[in-house]
Structure 1
Amino acid sequence: MMKQLAFLNGEVISQNAQGDVYEACLIEGNRISAVGTTEEIRKMLNRDAQIVDLHGKTVLPGLIDAHMHLFLYGNTLIHVNCKDPVISSVAELLERIREIVAEAPAGKIIRAFGFNEVMVEEQRYPTLEELDAISKEHPIIITRTCGHIGVINSAAMKLAGMNEHTPSPHGGTIEKDANGQLTGRLIENAFLQFNQHVTYSEEELYKALEKAQDKLLAYGITSVHDAGGFDADSFRIMQQASKGKQLKLRVYAMIGSLNDCEAFTKTMISSGVVSYTGNEFFTIGPAKLFTDGSSTGPTIATREPYDSDAENYGYLQYTEDELYDIFLPAHVKGYQLTVHAQGDKAIEQYLNVIERLQTEHPRQDHRHRVEHLGVCPPDLQERVRTLRVIPVLNPSFPYEFGESYIHNYGKRTDYMYAAKELIDKEIVVTAGSDAPITTANPFVGMYMAQERVTKKGTPFGQEQRVTLHDAIKMYTINAAYASKEEDIKGSIEVGKLADLAILNTSILDRPAEDLLNVEVEMTILDGEIVYSKQHAGVNA
């Protein structure tokens, strides 16, 4: 007799095509076996069935974060995290690093994540001199919140073989002051290439994976689309963890990394690893490249100069022909493609490439994606629709970074992460946190998709607000579509994988701001309770 787990007396938001909401659902083994009324489900139960009385609370399909960096997120939970608890000044950050250095053996790399110069009292970055004053024996690396900029000390530079004579790479800057002296700040490709020299040990990667999984399951997230880490070994670790049953989440792993992404992607493509292959816990995702920079840097590639700097158009990493040449063999061989593209110039370039590929080598169901789709005006939205490209937006970004977006991009924020207009064009829109760039909490993303206000309460592109139903779709069935897994997950329907998130309240017919206080009481993955709070009401 198959093990049964039943959820009764609640609101089961199915996310099926009809948008049905049920009272109850039944799991048998690792699949959804029935949905319906409480009375209907009770009649199907055997004597040993495990029952959860929901008392009117919401059940969602297991949530899917369609763009995050699993290992980097885990590392922010291990190393210094400037966001949690909030570090409010450069002085405070330096003191925290000083405390860690005092207890660390010489040569140990000291890492800090999530720094934002706009959010600290001094409104600036730490300097090379300040970091060297703490230690010249410990490499110190401070990663900005965007992940595209970092500040390092002399010991870290030595590890990477960098000095004042090292030229800045294409698409990046090794910053120097007015006197030609290094500041310690590395921008875009300079920082991404630097990270090739300060990789993580296997022990650190496994520990980061464990920490990240535990946190994500507590958010009701059962699947992630991993957008790559600084270390290509993370790809191997995920496969090994899947085989060894250490992978507690379902992972759709993009073929790409944050350092030397082009070489990694080319190597993987030439090896014959193909998108959509794998199992229900680890699947190969799209071939991915970076085409521009950070929305908060700001270093995104725009068609018009920044409102904050009339000389700045950001960084474009490739010419259109270069991008085409890299992606051509992948497209022809059946890979899903995607790029990091935040600015309208980068988005336009990528869409030009997709159009060329589809014209010369048409594929019926290519499902090519674009990560972020930041500044996307109506003309580019229409091309996204025509080319059937899947946008992976970041609804949470304006909550934390909206004030800087308004400062840097002005009226262009009216169509940043333009969910409403894209949905109105019948485009399949999905969402990712990009954690650790911002919070992994999906309910902040759902709130922002509906409300579009910054943390300070400033309206942000209000025309792009969507309904709760559409916000949930972005984190469930649409995200499953983006990984070509909509037939097995993303909705609560008979025969699909038993991945569920049970909330501590009802979320229907409630103000959107209530989502900011929502907690997950229980997470079900593959039919098993993998996260539970004590008051979840099992066998009630």
Structure 2
Amino acid sequence: MRTGYTNCCIKDQKNMAFLVEDGKILAIGSAQDARMQEALANADEHVDLHGLEVLPGKADGHVHLLQMGRNALSVDCSAGAADRLANAPRSQAWLYGVNWDGNSETLSRTVLDEAVKDRPAVVLSKDGQVMALNSAALHACAIDENTKVESGSIDAEKGIVRQTGVDLVRQAMPAPDTEEIKTWLLKGMELASAQGITAAGSEDFLSTNESYQDILTAYEQLSYQQKMKIRVSELVSFCQIEDFASFLDEGYSYDVGNDFFKIGALLLKLDDVSDKELRYDDATVQLYVQMANRFNTPVWFDAASSGGIDQALDVLKEEMYPDNPLQDAILVHRAPSAAQLARIQKAKIVLGISGFLPERASSLFYGSDQPFAPVLSYSSFLSGNTQKRLGFTGSLKEADPADFYVVDEGRVMMTVVNGEEVYRR
């Protein structure tokens, strides 16, 4: 089917038009051009965009689609958490809340015990680094005053766990089945497409207690069922290096997949914003990089603190191939120091940004880290860099995939992926 889009603005040029067939842009140009008029005459359907602006599909290099969807379908604890939890439907074995500010003075074991007495209840903070648990949840997770974790903390008396303590809780929670995982992923993609996002690097392996095989199965089913709403490069993450070894042994490798879902880079979270504690020692990070190198897999270091940036630079100095052919990258949440930036540029390390936008963005890519961080209004140029980093193409040119979105005074009105409308306001 051929669809003609008319009466739109592209790159500040008004009265533009384009023709789409089989997920590709067949022709694009001025509606007054004879060639364009001939192409539109062969369209099976015409869509009048009423002078609105059309932009190439937006790319976000680091999101958590599964968590985005799960959050949207969970109890919102951003305000009045106790009342919301007390009045939540009792259809699930565990009560799951999100969007808490992480302040143990507003939400703790005592508060949760008063609100939820009949089952385990856990609430995840906005940044994904802290959880509050009631007594039933602590008991179900076998957490007490003697439980210890590395690179995190547990306060059993207050019912507060941090960093790897959150991973411990996720592993103890009831496992979702494939259909539930698919529901969360689809909701996450729906929310992304409403922002004009057509391609994303998504980190989902550690969003549940399920193994990576279950996440991959859900994505693969959505892909061959042709239900994917956006293109996804799955950023693979692991709690233990043995899990990464098993992943590689099972034959998974970088860039394997199709036009809608493929295996992405290894995303290695090094720290948090506190700048106090690194998650791994240098030897462990070095081993991760060595394993990735053997399987031609790029490593993206998620470095929230200055110490994390230094650790990534020190390891890459020893392990990165000359000229960085695998495109290893550091995703930073704060501007690197002048000395760090000089090392990054000298080593030709790819730099991703999250949580801030520099004045110049010529060679950077962007990852929002949503839903754990707000989305910034980044440029189409920066989005294009991100698109290339994810390995997808799309720039509103003839023969490119028909991935675009339509805006009206900054509001996304329509998003189209592979020629199919996936969102309309």
TM-score by length of 2: 0.91
**Alpha-carbon distance, 1:292 to partner:** 0.2
CA contact (8 A) 1:69 1:227 kept: yes
**What corresponds to 2:90 in structure 1?**
104
Q: How many Å apart are 1:263 and its aligned residue?
A: 4.2
Aligned to 2:405: 501
User: Given the superposition, is the C-alpha separation of residues 28 and 53 from structure 1 closer, same or farther in structure 2, using an over 3 Å criterion?
Assistant: same
Whether 2:39 is the aligned partner of 1:53: answer no
- 1:364 positional shift: 5.2
> Aligned AA for 2:163?
E
- Does residue 324 in structure 1 map to residue 286 in structure 2? yes
Q: Cα distance 1:418–1:499, how it changes in 2: closer, same or farther (>3 A)?
A: closer
Deviations 1:263-315 (A, max 9, x none): 4333223333111111001010011221102x3xxx3x2xxxxxxxxxxxx22
Question: For residue 340 of structure 2, what is the aligned residue in structure 1?
Answer: 380
Aligned with residue 115 of structure 1, among 100, 104, 114: 100
Q: CA deviation at 1:500?
A: 0.8
Q: 1:481-500, aligned counterparts within 5 Å?
A: 481-485=388-392, 488-489=393-394, 491-500=395-404
The C-alpha deviation readout for 1:475-499, integer Å capped at 9, x for no partner, is 2x111121233xx32x111211111
Matches of 1:327 and 1:381, distance apart in 2: 21
CA distance in 2 between partners of 1:140 and 1:148 (Å): 17
After superposition, the Cα gap between the structure-2 partners of 1:34 and 1:389, relative to the gap in structure 1 and judged at 3 Å, is: farther
| Closer, same or farther: CA 368–283 of 1 in aligned 2, 3 Å | same
Q: Deviations for 1:164-207, whole angstroms, at most 9, x for unmatched residues?
A: 221x212111126xxxxx21110111112221111433332122
Q: Where does residue 472 of structure 1 map in the other structure?
A: 380
Match of 1:35 in 2: 28
Residue 222 of structure 1: aligned partner: 198
User: Residues 261 and 66 from structure 1, CA distance in 2 versus in 1: closer, same or farther, beyond 3 angstroms?
Assistant: farther
* Cα 1:236–1:315 shift into 2, 3 Å: farther
Distance in 2 separating the partners of 1:81 and 1:264: 32
Provide the aligned length of Structure 1 versus Structure 2.
Answer: 417
Question: Does the C-alpha gap of structure 1 residues 261 and 148 become closer, same or farther in structure 2, counting only changes over 3 Å?
Answer: farther
Deviation at 1:363, TM superposition (A): 6.2
SS at match of 2:128: coil
1:454-465 aligned within 5 A: none
Q: Which amino acid aligns with 1:187?
A: R
Q: Aligned residue for 2:359?
A: 420
Closer, same or farther in 2 for the Cα pair 1:161/1:330, shift >3 Å? same
**Is 1:437 the counterpart of 2:372 in the alignment?**
yes
Matched, 1:195 2:173: no
**1:149-188 equivalent positions in 2, closer than 5 A:** 149-166=130-147, 168-175=148-155, 182-188=157-163
Q: Secondary structure at the match of 1:10?
A: strand
When residues 499 and 22 of structure 1 are mapped into structure 2, their CA distance, relative to the original with a 3 A threshold, is: farther
Normalized per residue, the structure richer in strand is 2
Partner residue in 2 for 1:526: 418
Q: Percent identity?
A: 21
Q: Distance in 2 between matches of 1:355 and 1:30?
A: 42
Q: Residue 131 of structure 1: which of 112, 120, 129 is its match? A: 112
Q: Report Cα offsets for 1:473-529 as digits up to 9, x if no partner.
A: 222x111121233xx32x111211111101124xxxxxxxxxxxx222221111122
CA distance in structure 1 between the partners assigned to 2:323 and 2:294 by the alignment: 9
Code of the aligned partner of 2:26: S
Deviation at 1:219, TM superposition (A): 2.0
Give RMSD over aligned pairs: 2.4
Q: Choose from 221, 224, 227 the match for 1:243.
A: 224
Give the match for residue 264 of structure 2. 285
Q: 1:82-101 deviations in whole A, cap 9, x for unaligned?
A: 35xxx2xxxx210110011x
| Alpha-carbon contact 2:76-2:84 (below 8 Å) kept | no
Query: Contact conserved, 2:201 with 2:234, CA < 8 A, in 1?
Result: yes
Deviation of 1:46 after TM superposition, in Å, equals 3.1
* CA shift digits 1:431-468 (9 cap, x unpaired): 2221211345xxxx22xx5xxxxxxxxxxxxxxxxxxx
Letter in 2 for 1:336: P
| 1:355 corresponding residue in structure 2 | 317
CA distance in 1, matches of 2:11, 2:346: 31
Normalised to the residue count of structure 1, the TM-score between the two structures is 0.72
Matched residues in 1 for 2:159 and 2:404: separation? 46
Amino acid at match of 1:437: F
Contact between 1:498 and 1:527, CA under 8 Å: does it hold in 2?
yes
Unaligned runs of 5+ in 1: 15-19, 177-181, 302-313, 398-416, 450-470, 506-517, 534-540
The within-5 A match list for 1:248-327 is 248-257=229-238, 260=239, 262-293=241-272, 295=273, 299=274, 301=275, 314-327=276-289
Matched-pair contact (CA < 8 Å) for 1:376–1:418: no
Map 1:8-87 to 2 at 5 A: 8-13=6-11, 23-40=16-33, 41-83=36-78, 87=79
Pair 1:175–1:351, CA change in 2 (3 A): same
User: In 1, distance between residues paired with 2:11 and 2:166?
Assistant: 43
Unaligned runs of 5+ in 2: none
Task: Please state if 1:346 is matched with 2:308.
Answer: yes
1:174 to 1:276, Cα distance in 2 relative to 1, 3 A: same
Contact 2:8 2:14 in 1 (8 A): no
Q: Contact 2:4–2:43 (CA<8 Å) still a contact in 1? A: no
**Cα-to-partner distance string for 1:350-406 (whole Å, 9 max, x where unaligned):** 122122112xx4365311122344241122122222233333322xx4xxxxxxxxx
Distance 2:116 2:247 in 1: 39
CA positional deviation for 1:153: 1.3
* Greater mean alpha carbon deviation, residues 282-291 or residues 27-36: 27-36
SS at 2:158's partner residue?
Answer: strand
